[in-house]
Amino acid sequence: MLTLLKLLQDGCFHSGQALGDALGVSRSAVWKQLQQLEADLGLPIYKVRGRGYRLQSPLSLLDRSILEREGCPWSHQIFNSLDSTNAETMRRLGAGAVPPFAVIAERQTEGRGRRGRRWVSPYAQNLYYSLALRVDGGARQLEGLSLVVGLAVLKTLRSFGLAEAGLKWPNDLLVGNRKIAGILLELLGDPADICHVVVGIGVNVNMQLATEDIDQPWTSMRTETGVLVDRNALVARLNEHLEDYLGRHKREGFAALRAEWEGAHLWQGRLVNLTAGTQSIQGRVMGIDATGALRLSVDGEERAYSGGELSLRLSDDS
């Protein structure tokens, strides 16, 4: 079935006879595989008499051999479908896999974002990527890590022509007020000593119409640029920038990257509402501190906030 999908990924019409010849099967067997593609992967397929079959829209399928030729800094495992790339990476670490390594999927059935939110993950449309890292020396080495990853993702997006992309504390990337990417970090092991961190990255790449409702405004690289993005080139570029920023973070600490992050923060100086559980705090964004905590001016007093359960929104007055 995946071989058939590779033949169709260009979005052009292919006759049933040509597809059958390429696969070494009958035209009726091709039709059955096409029906299975639609049912299993949710990919609409158009049939036009005299022209053949084509996908509703071209796809850019992931190819491990292409990534290996790009000289990746860590190994990759590419899956057709997973519950989530973070969950699979945690399982592999638990089974003794040695980081760094990356797990990528064409589709997630239980993709997750921060605060337990579901990450919509249609087949071969976006990037679902997790990187496993070993952290020595305790949780202090994790200070500002998600923000550093955000810088790497931002540089990747801008290199594909998304000049208006920017950061939103703590783990989102936006174009305007529309979300284009998010980051989810999860720990495994003893944060006071040696532990592993899974860096989950989701990027809306070629998605134009969501197959399911999304609970916030969103956009994608293709929507913004008008062109189909080569997801293998995207992964290669992301690897390059992750290696650079993670290396700088390890050598110099987050403080060395703080000014760069603040310069890319879209909500710098804006009036916001910070939600922590049932508590809502209104303040003006002053920036971040040397650990990556958010600095707010609240009633004329500077306060710092950090934690995985915080949610930040623009105030109606902003």
Name the residue type at position 6: K
Say whether 250 is catalytic.
no
What does the alpha-carbon distance between residue 73 and residue 204 come to, in Å, rounded to a whole number?
Answer: 23
DSSP state at residue 114: G
**Distance (Å, rounded) from C-alpha 193 to C-alpha 161?**
41
Read off the DSSP letter of residue 14: B
Instruction: Give 116's DSSP letter.
Output: G
- 313 catalytic residue (yes or no): yes
Q: Which residues contact 91 (CB under 8 A, 6 or more apart)?
A: none
Asked if 229 and 205 count as a contact pair (C-beta separation under 8 A), the reply is yes
State the Cα–Cα distance between residues 168 and 261, nearest whole angstrom.
10
250 is in an annotated binding site: no
CA distance 157 to 130: 17
Alpha helices in the chain (DSSP H): 2-8, 16-23, 27-41, 64-69, 85-94, 145-159, 221-225, 231-252, 258-264
Q: Which of 179, 222, 231, 258 is catalytic?
A: 179
End-to-end CA distance of the chain: 51
Helix, strand, coil percent values for the chain (each to nearest 5): 35, 30, 35
- Is 117 annotated in a binding site? The answer is no
Judge whether 232 is annotated as a binding position: no
Q: Is 85 annotated as a binding residue?
A: yes
The residues, any chain, with a CB within 8 Å of residue 128's CB and separated by 6 or more, are 82, 84, 85, 104, 105, 106, 107, 108, 111, 119, 121, 202
Question: Which residue among 114, 155, 231, 237 is the active-site one?
Answer: 114
**Residue 114 assigned to a binding site:** yes
- If one counts every other C-beta atom within 10 angstroms of the C-beta of residue 226, the result is 8
- Is the CB of residue 206 less than 8 Å from the CB of residue 126? yes
Residues that constitute the known binding site? 84-86, 108, 112-114, 179
Residues that constitute the known binding site for biotin? 84-86, 108, 112-114, 179
Catalytic positions, please?
114, 179, 313
